[in-house]
């Protein structure tokens, strides 16, 4: 996060004897068949690319704008604005955060704001400068201009605009949620700090580590001081690793306290859930689909964006940590991740060629979607879990097939070797 200072045809030789040529041709044929199989089974690659947008309206913060619009994106699609961390850029975040894959799966447009070294030597967003976070000024206004430009040019849904960022980008996300709740209906603060934590560079370091100790009311007041009159606060997903030594995990808890207070929710969670990672999520003011605040705590994770390359979610690297797909879970929490590896509503029609539930001791192989539909597993946030054992089966869809054995009536366990 580190907030530093601102601103003629050749002779081909004798023919090859047929007895020598035959094995070569055989090998070539096998290679061609293999290549054909790969071409058939490989997923369709989108022609869409991350593209710069040289002009997007008023830009008092002197930021750069990039966008990614999947092929054939219909009008009225949601928009997600993404803010990179210090020393990163838009390309880094697009390549590794998992949001590019999520955009293709769920039909989302993406906008990336990029910091310039002329503003901050380490490319940190200036979340600690009052002139850059206030509504209508500095970097905050530049990002608002990017939203207005993208929504207008691509016919996106202005009522489904979200923002998420890492570290300094996460801190700026919190500021944007407070300053522009009429623009952003949801946010994702990843390894960030509460809104209104710092009022200058030196103050910023204290906010980062060890963090500031305020009451929930005091934290809430920091947001209320920025909220436009009559504005409805957004829904917020807060991510933090328990082993983060750059931005102390206490900041995640303070962010939860802040937004729970702003939204007027009970201070105790309504529900808790275990996710891959290992990750624990607490929901405040409802469940996974309607809570106002979700706190995702990733055990043993340091400072970075949680990704899950094995499930097609981002790429591991510096500050992109192989734990859990934060992009996918955040999109699901916001209500825009319905096609993240599986539908939000079950497909119509009855499954064919799939066995139904059998007596105890029987092993059943089926898609994860069918396991859920027939009562052997349950669906939580895009993933399927075996009933009874709670074994993680993977993405909830019709493509992933697993085997489950009923070891006792109603108790199903994953059978890795298959039935």
267 is catalytic: no
**347/105 Cα distance (integer angstroms):** 16
The single-letter DSSP state of residue 10 is -
Please identify which of the residues 96, 97, 106, 167 carries the catalytic annotation: 167
**110/94 Cα distance (integer angstroms):** 9
**250/242 Cα distance (integer angstroms):** 9
Tell which residue, 128, 176, 144, 4, has the closest CA to residue 60. 144
Reported as a single tens digit per residue, the pLDDT across 390-408 is: 887 876 655 568 899 999 8
Tell which residue, 231, 293, 291, has the closest CA to residue 256. 293
**20/46 Cα distance (integer angstroms):** 43
Instruction: Output 282-291 pairs: Cβ under 8 A, ≥24 positions apart.
Output: 282/256, 284/256, 284/260, 285/260, 288/332, 288/333, 288/380, 288/381, 289/335, 291/235, 291/333
pLDDT at position 349: 36
Reported as a single tens digit per residue, the pLDDT across 351-387 is: 333 444 445 578 999 878 788 878 898 876 556 788 8
Q: Please check the confidence at residue 147 and state whether its pLDDT lies above 80.
A: yes
**315/312 Cα distance (integer angstroms):** 8
pLDDT at position 354: 42
Buried b (16+ CB within 10 A) or exposed e, 138-153: bbbbbbbbbbbbbbee
Tell which residue, 161, 93, 99, 88, has the closest CA to residue 125. 88
Q: Is the pLDDT higher at 373 or at 276?
A: 276
**238/186 Cα distance (integer angstroms):** 11
Sequence-distant (6+) residues with CB within 8 A of 146 are 53, 56, 57, 63, 65, 81, 111, 113
Sequence-distant (6+) residues with CB within 8 A of 156 are 75, 76, 77, 78, 79, 109, 150
- The per-residue pLDDT of the chain, averaged, comes to 85
Q: Please check the confidence at residue 247 and state whether its pLDDT lies above 80.
A: yes
pLDDT at position 72: 93
* Burial of residue 280, with CB atoms counted within 10 A of its CB: 0-12 exposed, 13-18 middle, 19 or more buried: middle
pTM of the model: 0.75
Average pLDDT score over residue span 88-110: 97
pLDDT at position 371: 87
Q: Please check the confidence at residue 26 and state whether its pLDDT lies above 50.
A: no
Q: Please check the confidence at residue 1 and state whether its pLDDT lies above 90.
A: no
CA-angle at 141, arms to 136 and 147, nearest 5°:
125
**35/29 Cα distance (integer angstroms):** 10
Q: Please check the confidence at residue 32 and state whether its pLDDT lies above 80.
A: no
pLDDT at position 357: 43
Q: Is the pLDDT higher at 374 or at 23?
A: 374
The pLDDT > 70 percentage for the chain reads 81
Average pLDDT score over residue span 317-327: 97
Average pLDDT score over residue span 216-229: 97
Evaluated on CA atoms 66, 67, 68, 71, the torsion sign reads negative
pLDDT confidence band for 110 (50 / 70 / 90): very high
Q: Please check the confidence at residue 273 and state whether its pLDDT lies above 50.
A: yes
pLDDT at position 372: 80
Reported as a single tens digit per residue, the pLDDT across 51-75 is: 999 999 999 999 999 999 999 999 9
**Edge-to-edge strands, sheet with 401-408:** 363-367, 401-408, 411-414
């Amino acid at each position: 996060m580190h907030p530093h200072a601102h601103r003629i045809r050749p002779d081909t030789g004798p023919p090859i004897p047929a007895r020598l040529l035959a094995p070569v041709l055989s090998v070539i044929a096998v290679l061609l068949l293999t290549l054909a199989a790969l071409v058939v089974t490989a997923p369709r690659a989108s022609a869409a690319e991350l593209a710069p947008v040289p002009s997007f309206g008023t830009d008092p913060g002197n930021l750069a704008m990039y966008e990614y619009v999947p092929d054939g994106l219909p009008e009225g699609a949601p928009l997600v604005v993404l803010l990179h961390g210090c020393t990163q850029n838009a390309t880094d975040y697009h390549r590794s955060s998992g949001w590019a894959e999520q955009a293709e799966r769920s039909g989302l447009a993406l906008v990336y704001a990029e910091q310039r070294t002329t503003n901050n030597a380490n490319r940190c967003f200036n979340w600690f400068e009052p002139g850059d976070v206030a509504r209508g000024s500095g970097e905050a206004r530049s990002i608002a201009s990017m939203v207005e430009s993208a929504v207008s040019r691509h016919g996106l849904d202005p009522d489904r605009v979200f923002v998420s960022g890492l570290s300094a980008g996460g801190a700026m996300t919190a500021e944007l949620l407070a300053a522009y709740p009429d623009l952003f209906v949801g946010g994702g603060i990843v390894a960030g700090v509460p809104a209104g934590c710092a009022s200058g560079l030196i103050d910023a370091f204290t906010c980062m580590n060890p963090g500031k100790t305020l009451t929930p009311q005091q934290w809430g007041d920091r947001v209320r001081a920025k909220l436009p009159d009559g504005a409805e606060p957004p829904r917020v997903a807060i991510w933090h690793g328990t082993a983060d030594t750059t931005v102390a995990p206490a900041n995640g808890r303070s962010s939860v306290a802040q937004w729970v207070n702003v939204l007027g929710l009970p201070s105790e969670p309504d529900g808790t859930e275990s996710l891959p990672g290992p990750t624990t999520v607490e929901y405040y003011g409802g469940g996974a689909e309607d809570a106002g605040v979700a706190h995702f705590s990733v055990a043993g994770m340091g400072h970075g964006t949680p990704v899950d390359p094995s499930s097609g979610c981002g790429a591991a690297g510096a500050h992109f940590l192989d734990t859990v797909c934060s992009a996918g879970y955040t999109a699901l929490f916001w209500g825009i991740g319905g096609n993240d590896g599986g539908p939000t509503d079950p497909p119509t029609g009855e499954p064919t060629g799939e066995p139904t539930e059998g007596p105890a001791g029987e092993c059943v192989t089926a898609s994860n979607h069918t396991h859920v539909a027939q009562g052997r597993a349950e669906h939580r946030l895009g993933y399927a879990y075996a009933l009874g054992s709670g074994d993680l089966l993977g993405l909830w869809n019709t493509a992933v097939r697993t085997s489950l054995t009923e070891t006792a009536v109603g108790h199903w366990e994953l059978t890795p070797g298959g039935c």
